[in-house]
Structure 1
Amino acid sequence: MITRRFLLATPVLVLAPAAEAAEPALDALLARHVVPHRDGVNRVRYATWKAAPADLAALEAWIAQAAARRPSTLPRDESFAFWANLYNALTLKVVLEAYPVRSIRDIRSTGVPFDPKGWFGPWRTRLVTVEGRRLSLDDIEHEVMRPTFRDPLVHYAVNCASIGCPNLPPRAWRAATLAADLAAAADAYVNHPRGATVLPDGSLRVASIYTWFREDFGGTEAGVVAHLRRHAAPALAARLRPDARIAEDAYDWGLNDAVASTG
């Protein structure tokens, strides 16, 4: 268990240019391999990336450089961007190592106690050491980001390499533009059919993240709907009643693979 003390140490002054000096390297990789699709879902050129030893090495080098930093000393927005970028970079590394796969859930966690029900996905494998703590993807999301930042926008920042997930951006998160970029990511997801769809009877089909993590979106069905309405564009807002009922949830675990997409 990661302690809040580890995560919320008293910040010290850190100059933003130095702290974000490594982000252009991640920017270059994302810009080269993350591509928008006409259906609104960003895809990753995993096959091309895996066939490029220099780009694989660059991702490894970025992760190693990030892991050497001290996020507990960073201001809030810089810390948020650090953890989101590290999570996304580690997810890419895990998928690239296993590729080709149809879904990230085909990659099993290792080094964890036997689970008789099986454990689908790599989220419990400890992948990186930061400030002396060995962390898994689950640790970063559920023990670091969610309890530290207490912000539903965390869910739009971390990407699980799946069609159903909010988009992986083609650029690293950074403190200077974090608020605007997170708001744009939430807007894009909520207004995409995989985020929220109003059914003919006025009820909703929503992404499963709003069910799995309802506590982060107000804790109630009404809280989820209020969150959706805050980010709804006029076309969706006109149909999304404040008292709308959530009838179902769905999530596409297919890999966000550019090779698997068309157009």
Structure 2
Amino acid sequence: MKKFIVLILLITSIKGVSQNTDAFFNKADSFFKTYVKNGKVAYAELHKDSKALKEVLALAKTIKVSKDNAKEYQAFWINAYNLSVIKGIIDNYPTNSPLDNAGFFDKTKHDIGGKNITLNDIEHKLLRAQFNDPRFHFVLVCGAIGCPPLISEAYLPSSLNKQMDVQTKKALNGDFLMVNTKKKRVEASQIMEWYKGDFTMNGTSEIDFINTYRTEKIPDNFKIKYFPYNWKLNAQ
């Protein structure tokens, strides 16, 4: 009888966590659809009324996810990062850039996912250090124009891999790269310079990584350079 009761409590607990997680993803999806358009965020509108942002972050605060469920874990923390960036901007609004606010990435703590954590910790400790996936750089959006664009939907466990592929392809077939055929050179975002190790894992080159997702392939003999990062706010 005791074992039966324990089992029921365990099932109830798991079901409750699942319902909370589903509610978070649904609310996050609604939030991004409402306040993000063409990769730009309606910061001015959110500053006037931040109720929707507060509601989704209140849900995120209570949720705990496990690496054992990798897709749910990654989807949660990607959304949590992007939402926390928006909160950081709203807390300092008006601002021209996230870098105008001291400690934006490495000092300011966010109460989310059962942790009191910085943006850098989410990116580097909870995601990059746990999963060797360079596509994180195309879905974690730092609030600047130089970042890959923020999508108008939440990342979901069921579609995460496809969503990450889509965003990586968009970036590497778009403004993230500038190809100069005459000079046999490709200029890439400084993200590829700062995190070169992520793009050259397993003995591959940066060109190899780019060509995995790029429609018009870049010749192996092209040199790679990096253009300055645009830290201006990604505001509508």
By the TM > 0.5 criterion, same fold? yes
CA–CA separation in structure 2 for the residues paired with 1:138 and 1:231: 26
Paired position in structure 1 for 2:165:
183
Tell me if the contact between 1:68 and 1:130 (Cα under 8 Å) persists in the aligned partners.
yes
C-alpha RMSD of matched pairs (Å): 2.2
Is 1:103–2:97 an aligned residue pair? Answer: yes
Paired position in structure 2 for 1:257:
235
Tell me if the contact between 2:141 and 2:150 (Cα under 8 Å) persists in the aligned partners.
yes
Aligned residue identity for 1:211 = E
CA–CA separation in structure 1 for the residues paired with 2:71 and 2:24: 16
Is 1:158–2:101 an aligned residue pair? Answer: no
Aligned residue identity for 2:131 = F
CA–CA separation in structure 2 for the residues paired with 1:68 and 1:173: 18
Q: Secondary structure at the match of 1:230?
A: helix
Tell me if the contact between 1:14 and 1:73 (Cα under 8 Å) persists in the aligned partners.
no
Q: How does 1:202-213 map to 2 (within 5 A)?
A: 202-213=184-195
Q: 1:246 aligns with which of 221, 224, 234?
A: 224
Paired position in structure 2 for 1:69:
63
Tell me if the contact between 1:221 and 1:245 (Cα under 8 Å) persists in the aligned partners.
no
CA–CA separation in structure 2 for the residues paired with 1:129 and 1:33: 20
TM-score (structure 1 length as normaliser): 0.78
State the Cα distance separating 1:44 from its structure 2 match: 0.9
Alignment: residue pair count? 221
* Deviations, residues 178-208 of structure 1 (Å, cap 9, x unaligned): 1111000000011112x11112301111011
Paired position in structure 2 for 1:3:
none
TM-score (structure 2 length as normaliser): 0.86
Aligned residue identity for 1:33 = Y
Aligned residue identity for 2:224 = I
Q: 1:27 aligns with which of 9, 26, 29?
A: 29
Paired position in structure 2 for 1:43:
40
State the Cα distance separating 1:130 from its structure 2 match: 3.7
1:129–1:163: structure 2 CA closer, same or farther, 3 Å change rule? closer
Aligned residue identity for 2:111 = V
1:22–1:222: structure 2 CA closer, same or farther, 3 Å change rule? closer
Q: 1:57 aligns with which of 51, 65, 69?
A: 51
Q: How does 1:228-239 map to 2 (within 5 A)?
A: 228-233=210-215, 236-237=216-217
Shifted more, 82-91 versus 218-227: the winner is 218-227
Q: Which has the higher helix share?
A: 2
Aligned residue identity for 2:229 = Y
Tell me if the contact between 1:214 and 1:220 (Cα under 8 Å) persists in the aligned partners.
no
Aligned residue identity for 1:25 = K
1:67–1:218: structure 2 CA closer, same or farther, 3 Å change rule? same
State the Cα distance separating 1:219 from its structure 2 match: 5.0
1:82–1:25: structure 2 CA closer, same or farther, 3 Å change rule? same
State the Cα distance separating 1:243 from its structure 2 match: 2.6
Tell me if the contact between 2:47 and 2:90 (Cα under 8 Å) persists in the aligned partners.
yes
State the Cα distance separating 1:248 from its structure 2 match: 2.9
State the Cα distance separating 1:17 from its structure 2 match: 6.1
Runs (4 or more) in structure 1 with deviation over 6 Å come to none
* Deviations, residues 37-86 of structure 1 (Å, cap 9, x unaligned): xxxxx11111112112xxx1221222222121121265101100010010
